[in-house]
């Protein structure tokens, strides 16, 4: 299984190139889109080459998800804690975006390793923003408490107009994903993949992994969820997260893996589909070759200019030829 990286590779490469060429005044204006409909925009002007504006557009939240000022709750605090004085949050953001960050590249750490680590963190802005509510919930789990004011079901956005759900408790957090796919082939692959995914949890090497369940029907934890949020054509996947899963450095990995679980499944569904198509094409090619070998070979007679051909005549035709 391949896990997705938390940072945007294109964003990280752009930041590294800009930092390595600060003495050159260049103008940058890049737009791009990454998985789950997260859009980015980078802007650098010739007048102020040390300042970089990074704008991010998040997936459209469904009605049940909690957004404050266009961002998930806890995102502003997470951004300030992650980036410090290097990054300034512009309010309001640029038109068409949920967030605009102003990066002062002249304030980056002088030490190369520290500078690179901070740039990787900036390139992981998606994880910092979208994973902020989940991080807050799991931090309380590590201390076996629940966020004050949150009682029962909590919906978090992870795709455009789609959410997954948390059920926080002092000793565990249940995470439920309604799995939706548009293509009928993707639905069949995803259903099979998720059932195998659950079975793999029972292998000996994964005893400490979070318990995982799959069901074609909504679990009891979603009894308070709105009906439109329960339309899942590939079933429901539930994870139970315990305090041991969020200890120390495990917290970052758990937040990212849960935040991108649907993208992780979609990636492997498409890989499986591509692998099946490749196997089918190879099988068809081998069958065509077998049919070609089974065809009888007809050897054509090649006639040279000096070759003669003979025709056997009947007795009547022979007599007629001799009289003439």
What is the per-residue pLDDT for 158?
86
What is the per-residue pLDDT for 187?
92
Q: Which of 180, 146, 148, 151 is nearest to 164 (CA)?
A: 180
What is the per-residue pLDDT for 313?
62
Residues 6 or more apart whose Cβ sits within 8 Å of residue 97: 39, 41, 55, 56, 57
What is the per-residue pLDDT for 198?
85
**pTM over 0.95, yes/no:** no
Neighbours of 229 (CB within 10 A): 21
Residue 231 has pLDDT above 90, yes or no: no
What is the per-residue pLDDT for 68?
86
- Cα(57)–Cα(94) distance, integer angstroms: 10
Q: Mean per-residue pLDDT for 62-78?
A: 89
Give the SS3 label for residue 147: coil
Q: Mean per-residue pLDDT for 316-321?
A: 67
Residue 3 has pLDDT above 80, yes or no: no
Neighbours of 255 (CB within 10 A): 24
Could you tell me if 177 and 167 are in contact, meaning their C-beta atoms sit under 8 angstroms apart? no
When the pLDDT of each residue in the chain is averaged and rounded to a whole number, the result is: 86
Residues 6 or more apart whose Cβ sits within 8 Å of residue 119: 12, 15, 16, 19, 108
What is the per-residue pLDDT for 197?
82
Residue 12 has pLDDT above 60, yes or no: yes
* Lowest mean pLDDT segment, chosen from 124-128, 248-252, 313-317: 313-317
Q: How are strands ordered across the β-sheet holding 173-178?
A: 154-159, 162-168, 173-178, 236-241, 212-215
User: Tens digit of pLDDT for each residue in 141-200?
Assistant: 988 888 887 777 899 998 888 899 999 999 999 999 999 998 898 999 899 989 888 888
Residue 97, both tokens = 């975006």
- Cα(157)–Cα(58) distance, integer angstroms: 9
Residue 265 has pLDDT above 80, yes or no: yes
């Amino acid at each position: 299984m391949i896990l997705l990286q938390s940072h945007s590779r294109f964003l990280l490469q752009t930041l590294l190139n800009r930092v390595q060429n600060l003495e050159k005044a260049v103008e940058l204006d890049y737009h791009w889109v990454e998985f789950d409909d997260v859009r980015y925009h980078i802007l650098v002007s010739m007048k102020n080459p040390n300042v970089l504006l990074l704008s991010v557009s998040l997936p459209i939240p469904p009605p049940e998800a909690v957004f404050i000022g266009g961002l998930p709750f806890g995102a502003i605090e997470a951004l300030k804690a992650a980036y410090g004085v290097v990054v300034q949050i512009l309010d309001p953001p640029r038109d068409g975006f949920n967030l605009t960050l102003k990066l002062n590249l002249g304030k980056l750490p002088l030490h190369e390793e520290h500078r690179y680590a901070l740039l990787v963190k900036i390139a992981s802005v998606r994880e910092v923003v979208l994973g902020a509510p989940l991080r807050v919930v799991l931090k309380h789990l590590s201390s076996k408490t629940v966020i004050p004011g949150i009682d029962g079901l909590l919906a978090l956005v992870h795709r455009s107009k789609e959410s997954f759900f948390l059920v926080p408790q002092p000793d565990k957090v249940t995470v439920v994903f309604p799995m939706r796919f548009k293509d009928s082939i993707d639905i069949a692959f995803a259903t099979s993949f998720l059932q195998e995914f659950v079975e793999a949890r029972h292998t000996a090497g994964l005893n400490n992994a979070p318990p995982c369940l799959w069901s074609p029907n909504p679990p009891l934890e979603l009894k308070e969820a709105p009906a439109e949020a329960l339309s899942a054509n590939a079933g429901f996947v539930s994870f139970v997260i315990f305090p041991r899963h969020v200890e120390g450095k495990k917290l970052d990995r758990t937040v990212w893996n849960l935040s991108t679980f649907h993208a992780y499944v979609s990636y492997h569904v498409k890989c499986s589909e591509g692998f099946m198509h490749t196997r089918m094409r190879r099988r068809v090619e081998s069958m065509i070759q077998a049919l070609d070998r089974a065809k009888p070979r007809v050897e054509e007679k090649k006639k040279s200019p000096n070759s003669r051909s003979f025709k056997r005549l009947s007795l009547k035709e022979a007599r007629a030829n001799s009289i003439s």
